[in-house]
Amino acid sequence: MNNKRIIIIGGGVIGLGIGWQLAKAGAAVTIHERGQAGRGASWAAGGMLGPIAEAHIDELDLLKLSNQSLERYPEWVDELESETEMTIGYRAEGTLIIGINPDDSYQLKHAYNLYKDLGLNVEWLSGQEARKIEGALSPYVTAAIRCETDHQVDNRLMVQALEHAYLGRGGVLQQNSNVEKIVIENGNVTGIQTQDGFQDADVCILAAGCWSGQINGLPDSMIPPVRPVKGQMLALQMREDNMISNVVRTVKARYPMPVYLVPRKDGRLVIGATTEELGFDTDLIVGGIYELLHGAFEAVPSFYDLPLIETWTGLRPGSSDNAPILGKTPVGNLIYATGHYRNGILLTPITAYEISKLILTGETPETIAPFHLDRFSDE
């Protein structure tokens, strides 16, 4: 491996995670990042590790992958924290999916039955039982599903730790490096073209999130079907007497817009997120802020009195079927690790471990086999 020059396009959690694992194995890795490492979707995310809360009946492959990644999180956190001596804010309090009106209760019950059928670890709670766990919940809460294993991590701390770990293993990070073209000759990538010229590569990994479809040089059939899906977010500062410790999510049955509330260890409360199809627009639209706040107040009324400390938007890398695009492509030495949509933080360990294994061994691990690019041409 030591002789192979590996180029990773994209320095978010996916690119950094793969790069770290490869550098650790002794590979010569260079990440080209268009901006600052980890400041795209990786930075904007909520950090929820919620395969159950994100589960859909028609996305069972994704649910399986998500659960496999969640199972590897404790190992991932241990490895990253011990190697960097940094904390990444992993919290195991779990998640409450709450209903705040009778419509929500029906929808929750339906979801609960599905989760049970799938063998997931969920518990049904009445509104009273939910308020025993989180005393700040609204008196309107009618029912809740408790997902004890849906945890969270502080994604911004994880970005910083990953960068540190990657650099510590000798990985090279080229920031503000604009990859204009992936150069393919005779069915193999020979390198990439950046504003600084041509860079040789023996292996190329495309991990550029929502920008993955924007890079020149790929045959049309290989352009990954990834688009930006905007999300608006807020952060409030909780007080000791006005706090939650579980992740709290609402559902979309009637109104308002569903939201999630993610309490960090330092009292920061992350509220998200809108889902907007507006291309690369990153404006913070007041209607979105209003709906997020409305949703938050319906869940936890006392948050009305908390200070706002940050507003931001991010662009999720949404794929055509909401699942990531992982692994080999028709170009022999070009590997994809993109399109993680709403689950990038959750799927980082499995992606980093399995993609690096693929590159080191040449064999596709079974876990990621269903997520090849060619599933789209099969349709």
198 vs 304, which CB is nearer to a second copy?
304
Closest among 21, 359, 282, 377 to 368, alpha carbons compared: 359
Cα dihedral angle (277, 282, 287, 293), rounded to 10 degrees? 110
Q: Is residue 362 near a second copy by the rule CB under 8 A?
A: no
Cβ density class 102-137: b for 16+ within 10 Å, e for less: eebbebbeebbeebeeeebebeebebeebbebbebb
- Which lies closer to a second copy via its Cβ, residue 239 or residue 252? 239
Nearer to a second copy, 69 or 138 (CB): 138
Angle between helices 348-361 and 73-84 (to 10 degrees): 80
Contact positions with a second copy (CB under 8 A) in 321-350: none
Among 28, 133, 253, 285, binds a second copy (CB under 8 A): 285
Which of the stretches 186-194, 206-214, 290-298, 344-352 binds a second copy when contact is defined by CB under 8 A?
290-298
Please give the size of the binding site for a second copy, defined by CB under 8 A.
20
Residues from 294 through 313 that contact a second copy (CB under 8 A): 294, 296-297, 303-308, 311
DSSP 125: E
- C-beta of 270: minimal distance to a second copy in Å? 13
Alpha-carbon gap, residue 83 to 86, rounded angstroms: 8
Q: Is the peptide bond before 41 cis (omega within 30 degrees of 0)?
A: no
Residues 331, 188 contacting (CB under 8 angstroms): yes
Question: What is the DSSP-derived secondary structure letter of residue 365?
Answer: P
Within residues 198-257, the interface with a second copy by CB under 8 A covers: 234, 236
Q: Contact between 293 and a second copy (CB under 8 A)?
A: yes
- Name residue 275's amino acid: T
Contact pick of 176, 283, 332, 374 for a second copy (by CB under 8 A): 283
Binding of residue 284 to a second copy (CB under 8 A)? yes
| Closer to a second copy by Cβ: residue 259 or 337 | 259
- Applying CB under 8 A, which residues contact a second copy? 234, 236, 283-287, 289-290, 293-294, 296-297, 303-308, 311
